[in-house]
Amino acid sequence: MEIETAQVSTGIRIEYSLSGIENNETLVFVHGLGANLSQFELQQQFFAKDYRVLLVSLRGHGGSSAPPDPAPAGYTVRELSRDVHALLQYLGIEKVHLVGNSLGGLVGYELLELDADLLISLTTFGTAPRLHTSRFFRWSLSTVIRLFGPKGMGWLVSKTGSTDKAVGARLGKMYETVSKDALELIMGNLADYDYTATISGHRIPMMLIRGSLDTAINKNLDTTLEVLRENPDFELVELPGAGHFANMDAPDDFNEILGRFLATR
């Protein structure tokens, strides 16, 4: 995988990998909190024969830079989406299919608001469109991150992020590279949000891939599936045996599902 960096208009140096067929449609993959562009290495290899494939590392993740003065306002989902939008402008890319895991799915929702003409389709997995947590829960998460730091969180995720030990080890390595500020401040910003109005206001093709083992997210989906289904071009696909990082747990099945969806758009 060839990795490059670009200083974009938001002031952040973004790590990215671009491959595939230059004049074909662009497929963008956006990782979850704590991960980086390497989360989608297998997807890049698979889809590069048919698409122009772009992988990105969000600010504070992987090889991307972080804001000089860490504050919650610098790590909102809107700011993360502005980085992605600025990278697309830098690369001269005007239309994309976006695939986002967890936090990456929320970036997709923000891009719908930021530039309604940008997305051809949006696929999410491990993403709850709406989430409300208690102050105690937020405090507990923040305390754990402060105590463990990226390396400690990497160890924790390596043991709990997947039932596949090899996948868990890869996740742990990714988490070790995330900025502690990014991990804590983004987590705080994700404690309370609602994108149901965004979903209702746009009718682009959308797909939600639901990993059967992603119980923490799945229990928060029931209240928003009704809103998603208002879109006549929405599709819900179940992926048995896959957890929060479904593309890593079941890459072949994930690629087949995504490939079929994209082929009809």
Distance CA 11, CA 83 (A): 9
> Can you name the CATH fold of 4-131+193-263?
Rossmann fold (3.40.50)
Sequence spans of domains, the chain: 4-131+193-263
Could you give the 3-state DSSP secondary structure of residue 86?
helix
User: Do the Cβ atoms of 37 and 27 come closer than 8 Å?
Assistant: no
* Per-position pLDDT tens, the chain of length 265: 899 999 999 999 999 999 999 999 999 999 999 999 999 999 999 999 999 999 999 999 999 999 998 899 999 999 999 999 999 999 999 999 999 999 999 999 999 999 989 999 999 999 999 988 766 666 676 777 777 778 888 888 899 899 999 999 999 999 999 999 999 999 889 988 999 999 998 999 999 999 999 998 999 898 789 999 999 999 999 999 999 999 999 999 999 999 999 998 8
Structural Rg of the chain based on CA atoms: 17
| β-pair type (13-20, 4-7) | antiparallel
User: Do the Cβ atoms of 159 and 152 come closer than 8 Å?
Assistant: no
User: Do the Cβ atoms of 10 and 86 come closer than 8 Å?
Assistant: yes
